[in-house]
Amino acid sequence: MKRVTEQYRIAVYFFIFSLGLIISFVFVDITFFSGQLEKTIMQNASTKIKEREKFFSRYFDTPRNILNSTRQSEYFNKYLDSPTVYKTELNDIFLTMVSINTQIMQFRYIDADGKEKIRIDRKSLGLKANIVKDEFLQNKSNRYYFKDSKTKELDKVWFSNIDLNIERGQIIKPYIPTLRAMLPIKKNGKFSGVLIINYFMSDAIRKLFQTPLYDMILLNDRGFPLVHYNKKYNWSFYQKTKYSISNDPLFDWKKIALNDFVINDDFVSKKLNLDTPEKLILILQLKKSYLLKSQKEKLYEYTIVSSIIMILSFFMSYIFSKYLRGLQFIIDDTKKSNKYLEKKVDAKTKELQDLNENLEKKVEDEIRKNKEKEEQLFAQAKLAAMGDMIGNIAHQWRQPLSMISTNASGIKIKYEFGQLDVSELPKEMDIIVEKTKYLSNTIDTFRNFLIERKEYKEIVLQENINMAVGIVSSSLQDNFIELKNDTHLLPSIKLHTISAELCEVIINIINNAKDILLEKNISDAWIKIGILQFSNKVTITIEDNAGGIPKSIFARIFEPYFTTKHKSQGTGLGLHMSYKIITESLHGKLYVKNTSNGAKFFIELPFE
C-alpha cells in the first residue's frame, strides 16, 4: 500500500511539473516569438514591392520598343512618302508585329487628319490577329488620344492610363484592362499622324498579383482601386457604389497620397515610377488567409507539444517510480547489488575491449565515409555548375536566335507577297550566317570549358579570365550589371595551372556576386576583375559593390552547405568547392576582404 501511495505521489509531481512546462512554453512563445514571422514578412515587403514595380514596368517597355522600331523602319518612312505604293508591305509588317507579340490588342496608324490608315485587330487575348479592311477604318479625330498626341513631343512615345476596354461607350465584360502607347509622327518638322498600340494588361496584372504571402491593391492617385485582392472592389470607379481606400480606416490614405514610399507594420505602399498620366500606387499587406493559417498552425503546435509533454510526464513517472522501487531492493540486499555492479563492470569492460579491437576498422570506415561525402559534394557542385551553364547558354543564344528568326520571317513575308528584292538577299543571308557563327562559337566556348581534361598546362591568364567572362557576360547584361575587366591592359601572364578548374572558380565567384547584387537590388551594380602580379605569385581580384559580407557570417562563407539564399536558389557548395579547388588542386590561396564598395575575393596562384 505504501508503494502504491508513493507511486501516485510521484505521478502527481510529474503532472504538476509538466503543466508548468506547458504554461512556460506557451508564455515564452507568445511573449517573445508571437508575430515574429509576420514581422519578418512585412519587413521584406519593401523589397518585394520594388521587385513588383520593376516587373510591371517591363510591360511598358515592349510597346515602346515596337513603336520606336516601326517608326525607324525603312518601309514605314517609304509609306509616309508613298502611302498607296507601300500600303500592302506596311500592313504585313504590322500584322507580323502583332502576331509575334500576343499581348497586342490593336496596332494602327492614324494620319494627321485623324483617319485610320492601317489597323490590325485581335479581338481577345490568344486569338489570331487580322487586318481591318479599308471600308471599316474609322475617323478618330475627336478622340482624346489623337488630340493629345498633337500636343505631345513628336517622335516620343507617351502612354494613356491603364483602363478598361470600351466599345461604343460600353465597358466590355469580362473586364479587359488596356494600356495605350502612342507615338506622334514628325515629318518635315510637322505632326504627321500617330502610331498607336492597344496593349492587353490582363496578363501583366495577373502576374503582378502572383505572390503567396501578400494581399495587393493597385490603385490610382485618387484612391480608387484598379485591381483589389477583394475582387468586388476591382475597377470601383466604374461601379455604382464607388469604393475608395481614402474612406477605408484600414489605410492611412493621407500618408499614402503624400509620400512616395510608406512602410508600417500593417502595409507597405509605393507610387510606381511609370509613364502614365495618372500615378499608380501599389499596396502590399500580409494575406489574411496566411494569418489565419499561421494561427491555426500555432494552436496545433501548442496542442502537439502539450500532448507530448503530458505523455512523457506519465511515462517518466512510471519509470521513475519503478526505478525507486528497484533501488530500494538493491539497498536492502547488498550482495545482490554487488553482483549487479560486477555484471555492469564486466559488461563495460567487454565493451571497451570490443571497442579497442574494432577501433582500427571504425577509423577506416569513417575515412571511407568522409571520402564518399567529399565526392558527393563535388558531384552536387558539378550539377549546380551544369545548371548555371545551361542558364548562361540560354542568355547567350536568345538575342542571335531572335535576329535569325526576324530576318528569316522578313524574307519569307517579302517572298510570299512578291516584294523580295534579290539584291538584298546576300546582305540578309550574311546577317544569318554571322549570327550562326556566333552560336557555333558559343557552343565551342562552353564545350571547351566542360570537356577540358584535368591536367596542368601553360595558359595565358587573361585568356582564361576572358573565357569565364564570356560564359557569364550575357547573364550579367540581362540583369543590368556592368562587368569591368581591365586585365587586358597588362602584358600577357603565362602560368602552369588547370585551366578549366580556374575558370570554374572565377565563374562561381562572379555568379555569387551577381546573386547578391540582385538580392540587394543594387542600382548601378558592377563587378570588377583585376590582376596583381608579384615575383613569385599572381593574384586575381574580383570585387562587387553589394555592400560587403556581414561580420556575423564572414568566417563561414567557405563552409559546405552554408548559404544565405533560399534553398531553391542556392546549395551552399559554390564557394566551398572553389576554396577546395584553389587550395588543394591548384596549390594557391582563396580569401575575401570587405572594401568600401563591397566584397573583394583574392585568388592567389603560384607563379614562376
Out of 254, 286, 318, a domain closes at 286
pLDDT > 70 fraction of the chain, expressed in percent and rounded: 70
Total Cβ atoms within 10 A of residue 86: 19
Q: Which helix (H) or strand (E) holds 226?
A: strand 225-228
Q: Which of 130-139, 321-330, 499-508, 562-571 has the highest mean pLDDT?
A: 130-139
Q: Hey, what's the cell of 464?
A: 582564361
Residue-wise pLDDT for 162-215, tens only, equals 988 777 667 877 888 999 999 999 998 899 999 999 999 888 888 888 888 888
SS3 state of residue 549: coil
DSSP string, 417-486: TT---GGGHHHHHHHHHHHHHHHHHHHHHHHHHHH--S--EEEEHHHHHHHHHHHHHHHHHHTT-EEEE-
Residue 408 falls inside a structural domain: no
Tell me the HSE value of 57 on the side-chain side, using a 13 A CA sphere. 13
Residue 225 falls inside a structural domain: yes
For position 57, which CATH number holds? 3.30.450.20
Do 57 and 18 fall into the same domain? no
Average pLDDT over residues 265-272: 89
Average pLDDT over residues 223-241: 86
CA angle 188, 194, 54 (to 5 degrees): 120
Do 94 and 110 fall into the same domain? yes
Residue 414 falls inside a structural domain: no
Residue 505 falls inside a structural domain: yes
Mean pLDDT computed over every residue of the chain? 80
Do 192 and 43 fall into the same domain? yes
Do 316 and 275 fall into the same domain? no
Do 468 and 581 fall into the same domain? yes
Residues 377, 385: Cα–Cα separation, whole Å:
12
Do 6 and 96 fall into the same domain? no
pLDDT > 90 fraction of the chain, expressed in percent and rounded: 29
Q: Name the phi and psi angles at 91, rounded to 5.
A: -55, -45
Residues 232, 16: Cα–Cα separation, whole Å:
53
Number of domains the chain is built from: 3
For position 535, which CATH number holds? 3.30.565.10
Give all strands (DSSP E) within 83-210, no chain letters: 104-110, 116-121, 130-131, 158-159, 163-164, 166-167, 170-171, 177-187, 190-200
Is the pLDDT at 552 greater than 80, yes or no?
yes
SS3 assignment for 298-357: HHHHHHHHHHHHHHHHHHHHHHHHHHHHHHHHHHHCHHHHHHHHHHHHHHHHHHHHHHHH
Do 192 and 154 fall into the same domain? yes
Q: Hey, what's the cell of 598?
A: 563591397
Do 545 and 594 fall into the same domain? yes
Do 142 and 264 fall into the same domain? yes
Do 9 and 97 fall into the same domain? no
Residue 341 falls inside a structural domain: no
Average pLDDT over residues 474-488: 87
Residue 359 falls inside a structural domain: no
Average pLDDT over residues 269-274: 92
Out of 231, 257, 286, a domain closes at 286
Residue 30 falls inside a structural domain: yes
Domain that holds residue 504: 452-606
The helix, strand and coil proportions of the chain, stated in percent and rounded to the nearest 5, come to 55, 20, 25
Q: Return the biggest CA–CA distance within the chain.
A: 121
Do 463 and 560 fall into the same domain? yes
- Read off the amino acid at residue 121: D
Residue-wise pLDDT for 8-42, tens only, equals 666 676 667 777 777 776 666 666 555 566 677 77
Is the pLDDT at 445 greater than 60, yes or no?
no
Residue 394 falls inside a structural domain: no
Q: Hey, what's the cell of 365?
A: 570506415
Do 134 and 262 fall into the same domain? yes
Is the pLDDT at 155 greater than 50, yes or no?
yes
